[in-house]
Amino acid sequence: MTAASPAFTIGVSLKTYLSHARTVAWATELAEVARRHPAVRDGVVELFVAPTFPSLVPVRDVLAGTGVRLAAQDVSATGPGASTGEVSADELAEIGCSIAEVGHAERRALFHEDDAVVAAKTAAALRNGLTPLICVGEDDRAPAAVAAREVQRQVDAALAAVEDSGRVVVAYEPVWAIGAESPASSTHIAAVVAALEGHLAALPGHADSRVIYGGSAGPGLLTELGGQVRGLFLGRRAHDVSAVEGVLDEALALAAVAPVAPAAAVAEVAS
C-alpha cells in the first residue's frame, strides 16, 4: 500500500435483493452519507457499491461527485460480439464501472463457473482497466493454515490467464460463512487475510493490491479485527445505509490510531 492509498476498502454487493426503485433510493441515501462523511471525503476509505446490471447507470448518476466507486457483480469473459446475455468489460468501463466482481461462490455453485472461467473474467477485467474483485474462500470449516493454502491456490488460478499487470482486490469469503448468522472468528479471518496479503505482495505486477473480508460481515467486525484487515465486503447487513455509515465510522476511528500490521497474524497460519 502506498502512502496515497486509502487505509480501508469497503464494498457493498446488493445482489438481487432490492428492486430497481429501492436500489436507486438506497444509493441516494448512500450518496448523502458519502458526501458528508470524512472517511470518504478525505480518502480514508475507498467505498464501492455493486448493484444489478440494470441499475448501474442510474446508480452511477446518483453517486456522481461522491467519490464512491461503481462495481459490477459480474463480467463477461469475452469481448463485444455474439455473447447473448453477457455484459463485456469494455462496456462496463464505458458506463463508469471501475471494479468487476469475479469468482463469487454463488457464481461457482449456481452457474458452474470453474477456475478457467474465473481466470478468463479476471483477465478481461484487467485488460479493460477494471479492478477485479476476486472472491475466494474454502467450502468447509478448516484450520487457518488449510484455508490459507486453498485461497492462495484460488488467487493463483484466477490470475493464471492474466497478461496485463494491475491492482486487484481479493475478497476472502469462507463459503460456509456466506449468509450465516455470524462471520468466521476474528482470529481465523486475520490469519487467512495475512497469508493472502503476503502472497499478493510477492506477485509481480499487482502493486497496491489488497485483501478484504466478506461472509456475513457487518458493523462491529472491523473494530473487532483491530486494523488487521484492511476492509470489508458487505452484503445484506448493508441494506440499512446506517450500517454502512457505522462501518465508515469504525474505519475512521481505526485510521486515527496505528493499526495492527496484517503480517502480525501470520503466526496463526504457521501454527
Task: Tell whether 256 is covered by a domain.
Answer: yes
Torsions phi, psi for 231 (to 5 deg): 160, 170
Task: Tell whether 73 is covered by a domain.
Answer: yes
Task: Tell whether 153 is covered by a domain.
Answer: yes
pLDDT at 177 over 60: yes
pLDDT at 266 over 50: no
CATH number at residue 219: 3.20.20.70
Q: Is 37 a catalytic residue?
A: no
Amino acid at 259: P
State mean pLDDT over 170-177. Answer: 95
| Nearest Cα residue to 263 out of 212, 196, 173, 218 | 196
Q: What's the domain range around 187?
A: 8-270
> Could you give the number of structural domains in the chain?
1
pTM: 0.93
Task: Tell whether 2 is covered by a domain.
Answer: no
State mean pLDDT over 4-32. Answer: 96
Q: Show the cell assigned to 32.
A: 448523502
Residue 164 pLDDT class (50, 70, 90 cuts): confident
Which residue in the list 104, 188, 199, 206 is annotated as catalytic? 104
Task: Tell whether 1 is covered by a domain.
Answer: no
State mean pLDDT over 135-148. Answer: 96
CA distances from 184 to 107, 136, 140, 160, 243 (A): 21, 14, 11, 28, 19
pLDDT of residue 207: 86
pLDDT at 270 over 60: no
Amino acid at 194: A
pLDDT of residue 4: 59
Report the distance separating Cα 119 and Cα 103, nearest Å: 9
Q: What is the mean pLDDT of the chain?
A: 93
Q: Are strands 99-102 and 8-13 parallel, antiparallel or unpaired?
A: unpaired
Task: Tell whether 3 is covered by a domain.
Answer: no
Q: Is 29 a catalytic residue?
A: no
Which residue in the list 46, 113, 173, 245 is annotated as catalytic? 173
